[in-house]
Amino acid sequence: MKSNWSKYVFLVIVIIIVIFAIFKIKIDEKQHQYTENNTANAERKKVTEIKLGITSLDTMNPILSKNKNIQDVSKLIYDPLVTLTSDYKAEPCLAKEWAKQGTSYLIKLKENVKWSDGMKFTADDVKFTIDRLKDSDSIYSANVQDVVGLDIIDDYTVKINLSKEVPFFEYNLTFPILSKDYYEAQDFVNTEKNVSPVGTGKYKISQVTQSYILLEKNNYYWDKEKELTLEKITLNIYSSIGELYNSFKTGNIDLIATDNDNLQEYIGTIGYSLKEIKGREYTFLALNTQNYFLAKQEVRKAIAYSIDKQNIISSIYNNKYYTSSFPLDYGNWLCEESDASSGYNVEQAKQLLTDNGWSYKNGFWQKLENYRTQKISLNLLVKESDSSKVAVAENIKNQLENQGIRINIVKANDEKYNTDLKNKNYDIVLCSTYISPSPNLDTYFGENNLANYTNEEVINIRSEVINTTDENVIKEKYKRLIEIYKTDMPYISLYFNKYTVAYSSELAGEMTPNWFYQFYGIEGWYK
């Protein structure tokens, strides 16, 4: 009896073990299936193709195109010798390294680079490109205007000879390099829209139609450390910017970049994300330091403290611009200071003038010098055809006169404005310029600068930074340069325009655009 009972117990235990094992297997299978399904779903959701837009396509030749869309997109297809980081620092691209030798640059090229057709990239391609830039009407021609010759040392070494010393010339080497073999086999100035040239960049042109251009990842791409997760880019072609905006609004393209400060009027406010940064257009006042009043540091600084830049931006530009305190404070690696304050401080202005013997009487700052009462009164030159700048000048006039500094606005036609600018025929001039990729500040501190400004220490700093490639030394010297600028105040930085990158909310990956390049990290983008 006991024996039978033991058998039953044993059988029950075996059955329980078997049931548990089967149950465990089923759970594992379901878990495995669940994991596989999730992985499959994730892969299905991770779309490795995006769509961009270009308008008014002229030519796919990147150094002949006048189309900014093409210039931007061409950076995906072609590489330069030197590129810029997201904080505008020069870094090697097709160039491995470079050394300055007086008025020459010795450049070593990377040796593992191939064109998208499998041909080797060599020094011949660099010489060919620079020769074409010298001969062509290209937006990049100015980059090589001081090049008087290029010597090929070997297949991967070139020596670029300049007509004069050019500060930070390596920043000029950001133009796209073309394939000598490819373009010698083509009509170089061919503007046909169906041309599919080769490049060394991350992506290559694989198909061209009347309505779109298809880019696919370049299997010969030289930087093996960058995995090209994004496999395809479709460039939809539009006849107008309005069509492009509508296409973005309806979700047919994934990203647009523009300095149009009214962008949201065209694309609305929902369904996308924004990156807004300081753009290239920089506006400032140059103070003629040879003027009787402006030769005095306290007057220049008092004017700077009396101008509320935020008031200008809000009243004239509807808060669509950024205030500035230095020509490089748009995110440049040599200017770390953020412009949290516009420097507006009327009490400080009053104190400066009072401490230097000025008195405020009858609504004006004045001073007795050489037996004459001198009231601060200055002319402000502005271009008459630029209505927004005229409005800015009027705003500045009102602000300064409220603080006792008389301003007379001189509205000049374009020809007179340019002549007066050249001859320094002004007390104060309202200027705008487009920032160069180079951190060279000769416009503000070099010979014949707009403020007629001289400072022995600044001259020495300029000489030192020209003759070194040590980044730590350059950064230290620029820090001191900024300090001198804010002490002497030969210029008053006002504002930068806004550069906007709008992109689909479905687009994922690292987005760190600047006005030089909107596609940092694009190889890792997906939807």
Task: Give the pLDDT of residue 369.
Answer: 82
CA separation (Å) from 64 to 58, 146, 240? 9, 20, 20
Q: Look up the pTM and report it.
A: 0.87
Task: Give the pLDDT of residue 396.
Answer: 98
* CA angle, residues 99, 442, 103, in degrees to nearest 5: 30
**124 with 174: CB under 8 angstroms?**
no
Amino acid in position 56: S
* Cα 37 from Cα 57, distance rounded (Å): 44
Catalogue all structural domains in the chain, each as residue range(s) with its CATH number.
Answer: 51-254+506-524 (3.40.190.10), 278-499 (3.10.105.10)
* Cα 109 from Cα 98, distance rounded (Å): 9
* Cα 430 from Cα 514, distance rounded (Å): 26
Beta-sheet strand order (sheet of 364-369) = 359-361, 364-369, 372-375
CA separation (Å) from 263 to 158, 226, 276, 315, 504? 44, 33, 12, 19, 15
Parallel/antiparallel/unpaired status of strands 406-412 and 212-217: unpaired
Torsion angle of the four alpha carbons 500, 505, 508, 509, in this order, in degrees rounded to the nearest 10 = 20
Question: Which neighbouring-strand residues pair with 150?
Answer: 160
Token pair of 338, please? 């953020």
* CA angle, residues 297, 457, 327, in degrees to nearest 5: 70
Query: CA nearest 257: which of 234, 270, 275?
Result: 275
Amino acid in position 505: S
To which residue do tokens 């600068």 refer?
449
Q: Which phi and psi (to 5°) does residue 507 adopt? A: -80, 125
Q: Which phi and psi (to 5°) does residue 379 adopt? A: -90, 140
Torsion angle of the four alpha carbons 289, 292, 293, 297, in this order, in degrees rounded to the nearest 10 = 50
Beta-sheet strand order (sheet of 232-238) = 49-55, 232-238, 212-217, 203-208
**14 with 217: CB under 8 angstroms?**
no
**95 with 107: CB under 8 angstroms?**
yes
Q: What is the 3-state secondary structure (H, E, C) of 217-281?
A: ECCCCCCCCCCCCCCEEEEEEECCHHHHHHHHHCCCCCEEEECCCCHHHHHCCCCEEEEEEEEEE
| Exposed / middle / buried, residue 330 (Cβ in 10 Å: 0-12, 13-18, 19+) | buried
CA separation (Å) from 302 to 289, 361, 392, 424? 14, 16, 19, 22
CA separation (Å) from 166 to 90, 366, 442, 475, 480? 15, 44, 10, 18, 21
CA separation (Å) from 167 to 95, 285, 462, 474? 18, 24, 9, 12
Q: Which phi and psi (to 5°) does residue 427 adopt? A: -90, -55
Residues in contact with 191: Cβ distance below 8 Å, sequence separation at least 6, in sequence order: 58, 59, 61, 64
CB count within 10 Å of CB 13 equals 10
Output Rg (C-alpha) for the chain, integer angstroms.
31
DSSP secondary structure string, 500-520?
EEEEETT-BS-----SS-S-T
Given a cut of 70, the residues of the chain with pLDDT beneath it are 1-47, 187-195, 337-342
Give start and end residues of each alpha helix (H) in 306-413. Answer: 309-317, 346-355, 387-402
**279 with 495: CB under 8 angstroms?**
no
**321 with 495: CB under 8 angstroms?**
yes
Question: Which neighbouring-strand residues pair with 500?
Answer: 258, 276
Q: What is the 3-state secondary structure (H, E, C) of 83-148?
A: EECCCCCEEECCEEEEEEECCEEEEEECCCCECCCCCECCHHHHHHHHHHHHHCCCCCHHHHCCEE
